Structure 1
Amino acid sequence: MDEKSPPRKLKRPRAAQACERCRLKKYKCDESIPCFHCKKSNLECVYQNANRYRDDAYASHYIQTLETKVRELTAQLMAVGSPVSQHSLDPENRVILTSNPLPKSLMPAADGQQTTSSRQSVSDEAGDTAAEVEIADVNRHTNAVEFHGSTSSMAFLGYLKRRQSHQTGYSAAAEAPSLVSALHNPAFSPQAHHHGPEKSRNIYSKQAHIFIEAYFENLHFVHPLIDKEHFMARANNLWFGHHNPEDESFVPLYLSLMSLGALVRVWDEERLDGLTRFEWSRKLFGDAQAYLNDLRFSNDLDTVQCLYFMAKVCQNELNQHLAYMYLGLAIRTCLSAGFNRESPNPKCHQSGTIAKTWWGIYSLEIEMSFSLGRPDTLGMDEYHNRRLPPIDDSEYAIIPLMVQFAHIIRKVTILIYHKKSKWQEKVNIACQIEQDMGQWVATLPEKIRPFPLEKRFLGALKEPKWCRRQRLVLNLRYHNVRMLLFRPFLSYVAQNHSIVMHEALEQAINKCLDSAKTTIELIHETYTIHSFFRTWWYNTTYVMFAVSVLLLYISRVRTPLQSPSVVKTIEMAVEILDAMDESVVARKTAVIIKDSLREAMEASAEPAAPTSTTTNTLATNSQLYVDEYLDMNLFASLDFPDYSLQDMASLFDEFSRTPHTPI
């Protein structure tokens, strides 16, 4: 082509479908609604074929059909007076029943006509799915929606509180706050610390050494993301006015680390410079948040570590919802900065710290998401090619080891709690995962490999602090996951009273109970020896998981009289929570557990002997209920759903009032 000739103008592609006026006038239609020419002439724009709108019509018709179906099923449930209609579908109970997508029989047909389906066709399509019970409610203290899924302790404990309303003879659902609100810590609210434009710029140099040292001698050994020497050098520059203005994001990191240090510090005095433990921690937390607000969440390593520490503060304040939110911000900041990738970084000297930070929050994200029954925000592992820190004899080896364990936790989430299959298949899967966990323990460095309580030796007293801290944490995490791995089998037996106890089921239940009891015994023993461990407020969550399992066992599987060791362990759990009376959530949890244990003991001491007439009536009603229930197929599979919330509901069912059938 001649250099002097003008460039050839690209021909606009022909419209796939022009409107009627453009087609007659031979205009180039832009296919808009209305198109450019019709809009300019202020004329009606008409397309000959309206197929382009067909999807929208299908969607509208489909939604209307689903709404009608839901209303019909709800009315049918209310008509038979089932436990589901009285509890699960009551909006005051804040319970959501979720299942897999609707069967094909309810989907739009290919020719655009809605296919009518009988109740039997729904049954055929839905038979391979299972309903899951979860909690979604508005926290009245924060006005924020919180979701707690099937692996959440909140869901598993949900119906313990309901027992009190059963005993008083009236429904308190409309009057009492939900469990999300009831177990909220109202004294801890970041919004209350907003300083506005005139916020203080205090760096608290007088108290800094106390709180910083408290962190580095405590939780740092479990989450060794920060280099102490480097941090102290930067803190000294801040104290003596040599701080680089371009390094402003260090200030919120500095404040958030002190907030966590103040929270987990062993306090011999009640107040320090006029403030208590929680007052100091929350004040520093609020200041860190104010700095972050000013910085607009700058994309750097300091901000990621700050968000991480703020998540840990929330976690130990027992506000798991906020912890999940802050950790999610840390994850997203890492991803936006490329810290998960082996890519060129303008601060290449930070590569080692970046790797520790990224993989530290990676494992914490999976663990925290699992404990809340929520999905993690990490995406596919193929995205993350950042090299792991080496597994050596240093305190940093726990980071890659916890990444390995996080992969096992994901298996539990997917294969046990979300895969729909019969219990026989899931027992085999659970046993295989347990073997993987055992292999993981066997590969741990000897310095931090957990051992049974009865095999402690005096030589361990001379070990570095980080060895003892890490061994303790790894032991707790192992038993917590092992307990949750086998918990669905306990739930299954508790719901299906008529089932013949298979040897595999009995072994699975024993493993679940063993880990629940070991968790409580381990925490109790450590509390009696080490004062630092009493300030790890997150232990309340481990205790809640374990005691829920034990309460379910003595309420639905074996009576308290048949399980004296279980009752003793529950009483031990109450002692732990009473020792943490500084935490409002721990106090509330202790009250719930005491009431539930007392009621279980009273029920087992005075069993009600039904008459033959009552027994026959219950059997007849139960069979009628089962027939109607199977006919409706609202919950597709009876094989192996997760009963994390319904376990607690079934603990206190009145069999003389409502026949119980497995769901």
Structure 2
Amino acid sequence: MQDESRAASYVHDLERKVEELTAQLRDSTSNQQRQGKEHSEFWTTRNGPSILNPDIRTDDNEQSSSEAVGGEEILEVNRHTNSIEFHGNTSSAAALGQLQKKREPLKSVAHEDEDEEPTVSTHQGGESVPKSIVSTLHNPNFQIQSPQLTQDAHEVSLRDSNFYFEHAHVFIEGYFENLHFIHPIIDKENFVSRAHELWMGRNLQPANGFIALYLSLLSLGALTRVWDQPQLGGLGRFEWSRKLFTEAQGFLHNSLFTNDLETIQALYLMAKVCQNELTPHLAYMYLGLAIRTCLAAGFNRETSSPKSRRHDWISKTWWGLYSLEIEMSFSLGRPDTLGMDEYHNRSQPGREEVCDSTVIPIMVDCARIVRSVSIDIYHSGVSTHEQLQRSLQIESRLDAWLEELPEILHPSFGHSRQGLVPISSLRDPKWSRRQRLVLEIRYHNIKMILFRPFLAYLTSTTEDKSGNNWEPEAQTVLEMAARKCIDSSKKTVDIIYETFRQHTFFRCWWYNTTYIMFAVTNLLLLLLRGPTSLVDHLEANTIRDSVKKTIEILEAMDESVVARKSVEIVKSHFKEYCDGDDASQNQQQLDNEDGDIPQPDMAVNPEAFPFGGLSYGEFIPDLTFVTGFPDYPFESMISLFGDITGPSILD
């Protein structure tokens, strides 16, 4: 009861502070408008209302304050595919786009390839920036290709190779021992049995849907398994995966509008291949086809027929796709295609007995929280005051979701929690270890996206050009929210770093690149523009350590071309911070030598950098870029992944 009383008192005090904050900031906005200061740009968006006063608008675009805080929408043409790609304000692209705006003045890309024409990306508000990073960081090695053979010739070729029997078992285990545990929607026993029929030639006319499922599962297994040898059968990881993907696509094309379970599962796996190839736009498209096919088959509806083993797997498939659809759509800032929940009355897998499929309804609960973040925070059009209150309410739901996890899936498993006797984690099954890891990362990913608008707002409006700081109460309340974002960003980096250190399998889950880049974007944003009161000297050191860990993580995934380009960008921006930090210290040293007293207050000396620092050369001796991207301004990070979950989504 005492804990509940303290919690109620805390919430009451917080609400009172938020109300005071809103009043103070609205007064500040009004004063700035009356004075006609140049720094009013900090308080209003380009085409939207005042960030703190929704009644004050510029132009005719009635953009919500939450959109102004949450990020900008990006619409770009990918010059590799000639396709238009949209990335909304909950995407990594929006987060990276905000980083671009924090750098003043904007710099254009220093060196364009001489044989290529620069492309232009258009942002909300009509601003153009040089060179589309959607194109720059596109994965050119992964392309959808039409099979070179007809279906009949293709099937004959597969039979001649005995459906890749010699290596198939390696790729099958590569899938079922890894990503299968995150969305366990495929019946392994049934799949292996039908695969044996292919290998033994017992089924002379296998369904196209199953062949597509078989080949796409092999493709994903080849892509995400640990390769202790460079090649199998003369082909490497990506060669095998892309070959199998192309062949699966050929059979899928002939059964694309067949409403059977195997076709749906094949589409799901192909979306996962695209997701881990770091081509999120294609993943979104394949997953959309899987959802549409489910709805066309009525797999989202409960039936009156007797329950069967197939009924259970249809339920697992539908609800697994349901959660993935919300998460993937949110990570791209796009709407999901599910419609109202009232449409979907298919029974969920049971929760009573904890097993590997218990994670499916748990992820459904998590996905619904993610949807609340999108609707109630990023697309609600409410004031900053209301936005913060809603964020705290969603955080309570998220914390309750975490605490209600089964003991074996809780991140604290193996340690004492809520007075319970510690449970040994040495003999827990593999599926629980995989799921526990992913659920913890999902929790922190949602939390950093939930509170990121307040970090972005603080770094935009910490102080105006006249050098006047905010009122202490206002600063304190907003910093509380921003700190939650930073804490979860650092925790995300720590979790992935420690898992990389201990388990090689996790380095092959390439989608980790997206989570890491979203987290490091927040950390760089704070380092480069954070208020002095939010980042003291000690915390700056820990944030720098997290950025260095991020670099190590990305370098460990150097098989991926996108991960390689990503680490170059992080190094470039981190070097910019470290160089600025060194210059600030050198200037202060010169001032001291001249007998001047240094000015520690950023409000008085806004040009001084507040962080004491580590020289860049102390930990990264050489930053000579050899990939053709010699100087990355913030605009080069705009659309790094168009994938998070937002949160972005870990498998």
TM-score, normalising length: structure 1: 0.71
Task: Tell whether 2:511 aligns with 1:538.
Answer: yes
- Deviation of residue 161 (structure 1)? 7.7
Q: Is 1:287 aligned to residue 247 of structure 2?
A: yes
CA distance in 1, matches of 2:133, 2:299: 37
RMSD: 3.6
For 2:480, which of 476, 496, 507 is the aligned residue? 507
Distance 2:333 2:108 in 1: 32
What is the CA distance between 1:248 and its match in structure 2? 3.0
Matched residue, 1:474: 439
1:127–1:302: structure 2 CA closer, same or farther, 3 Å change rule?
Answer: closer
Q: Which residue of 460, 477, 492 corresponds with 1:495?
A: 460
1:434 aligns with 2:395: yes
- 1:458 Cα deviation from its structure 2 partner: 9.4
Q: Check conservation: 1:161, 1:592, Cα contact below 8 A.
A: no
Structure 1: runs of 5 or more not aligned:
1-79, 90-96, 101-119, 611-618, 620-646, 653-663
**Aligned match of 1:60:** none
- Residue of 55, 70, 75 corresponding to 1:136: 75
The secondary structure found in structure 1 opposite 2:426 is helix
8 Å CA contact 1:580–1:587 kept in 2: the answer is: yes
Q: What are the Cα deviations for residues 406-455 of structure 1, in whole angstroms up to 9, with x where unaligned?
A: 11001111111111222222221111111111111111110111129998
The structure 1 residue matched to 2:568, chosen from 584, 591, 612, is 591
Which residue number in structure 1 is paired with residue 95 of structure 2? Answer: 156
Letter in 2 for 1:493: L
Q: Mapping of 1:47-66 within 5 angstroms?
A: none
In the alignment, structure 1 residue 444 sits paired with structure 2 residue 405: yes
Preserved contact between residue 165 and residue 171 of structure 1 (Cα < 8 Å): no
AA partner of residue 269 (structure 2): F
Q: Aligned with 2:571: secondary structure?
A: helix
Corresponding residue for residue 570 of structure 1: 547
- Counterpart mapping for 1:206-221 below 5 A: 206-221=166-181
Larger mean CA deviation between 140-149 and 199-208 belongs to 199-208
Q: 1:335-380: per-residue Cα shift (whole Å, max 9, x none)?
A: 0110001135799652100000000010001111111111111111
Q: Which residue of 1 aligns with 2:622?
A: none
Matched, 1:526 2:480: no
Q: CA deviation at 1:247?
A: 2.9
Query: Aligned with 1:502: secondary structure?
Result: helix
Query: Which of 492, 501, 524 is 1:551 aligned to?
Result: 524
Distance 1:244 1:550, change over 3 A: same
2:448 is aligned with 1:483: yes
Q: Is the 8 A contact 2:255 2:263 kept in 1?
A: no
Look up the match of 1:624: none
Matches within 5 A, 1:9-158: 126=62, 131=68, 133-158=72-97
Q: 1:354 aligns with which of 279, 292, 314?
A: 314
Deviation at 1:466, TM superposition (A): 0.5
Partner of 1:4: none
Structure 2 SS opposite 1:191: coil
* Residues 81 and 314 of structure 1, relative CA distance in 2, 3 Å threshold: farther
Give the secondary-structure state (helix, strand or coil) at the position aligned to 1:204.
Answer: helix
Partner of 2:154: 200
Aligned to 1:12: none
Deviations 1:541-581 (A, max 9, x none): 11011000000000111578831100110000000000000
Counterparts in 2 of 1:497 and 1:122: CA distance versus 1, 3 Å: closer
Going from structure 1 to structure 2, the CA distance change for 1:195 and 1:588 (only over 3 Å counts) comes to: farther
Whether 2:265 is the aligned partner of 1:305: answer yes
Match of 2:145 among 167, 184, 191: 191
SS of 1:147's equivalent in the other structure is strand
Q: Is the 8 A contact 1:211 1:262 kept in 2?
A: yes
- Secondary structure in structure 1 of the residue aligned to 2:230: coil
Q: For 1:425 and 1:166, how far apart are their aligned partners in 2? A: 32
In the other structure, the counterpart of 1:174 is 118
**In 2, distance between residues paired with 1:254 and 1:337?**
21
Q: Contact 2:299–2:314 (CA<8 Å) still a contact in 1?
A: yes
- Tell me if the contact between 2:208 and 2:254 (Cα under 8 Å) persists in the aligned partners: no
Distance 1:582 1:497 in 2: 40
Change (3 A) 1:215 1:164: farther
d(CA) in 2 for partners of 1:235 and 1:243? 10
User: Aligned AA for 1:590?
Assistant: V
Q: Residue 309 of structure 1: CA displacement?
A: 0.3
Quote the sequence identity (%). Answer: 50
Contact in 2 for aligned 1:160/1:592 (Cα 8 Å): no
Is 2:404 the partner of 1:404? no
SS at match of 2:81: coil
Task: Report the equivalent of 2:284.
Answer: 324
Distance 1:320 1:199, change over 3 A: farther
* Cα-to-partner distance string for 1:39-98 (whole Å, 9 max, x where unaligned): xxxxxxxxxxxxxxxxxxxxxxxxxxxxxxxxxxxxxxxxx99999xxx99xxxxxxx79
- The structure whose Rg is larger is 1
In structure 2, give the amino acid aligned to 1:406.
A
Q: CA 1:281–1:124 in 2, change beyond 3 Å: closer, same or farther? A: closer
C-alpha displacement of 1:246 = 6.1
AA partner of residue 557 (structure 1): G
Cα displacement string for residues 605-630 of structure 1 (whole angstroms, at most 9, x for unaligned residues): 324899xxxxxxxx9xxxxxxxxxxx
Aligned to 1:460, what secondary structure does the other structure show?
Answer: coil
1: CA distance between counterparts of 2:279 and 2:192? 29
Map of 1:226 onto structure 2? 186
**Residues 181 and 346 of structure 1, relative CA distance in 2, 3 Å threshold:** farther
Name 2:490's counterpart in structure 1.
517
* CA drift at 1:139: 1.1
Structure 1 pair 343–454 and aligned structure 2 pair: CA distance change class (3 A): closer
Residues 290, 511 of structure 1: alpha-carbon distance in 2 compared, 3 angstrom cutoff: same
Q: In the TM superposition, what is the alpha-carbon distance from 1:294 to its structure 2 partner?
A: 2.1
Q: 1:511 Cα deviation (Å)?
A: 0.9
Paired letter, 1:245: Q
Residue pair 2:212, 2:248 contacting (<8 A) in 1 also: yes
Compute the TM-score of the two structures, normalised by the length of structure 2.
0.72
How far does residue 171 in structure 1 lie from its aligned partner after superposition? 9.0
Contact 1:341/1:383 (<8 A) preserved = yes
Cα distance change of structure 1 residues 651 and 140 upon mapping to structure 2, 3 Å threshold: closer
* CA contact 1:156–1:648 (8 Å) conserved in 2: no
Structure 1 residue 298, shift from structure 2 partner: 1.4
Count of residues in Structure 1 that have an aligned counterpart in Structure 2: 511
Change (3 A) 1:384 1:580: same
Q: CA deviation at 1:244?
A: 5.9
CA distance in 2, matches of 1:169, 1:468: 44
Distance 1:254 1:382, change over 3 A: same
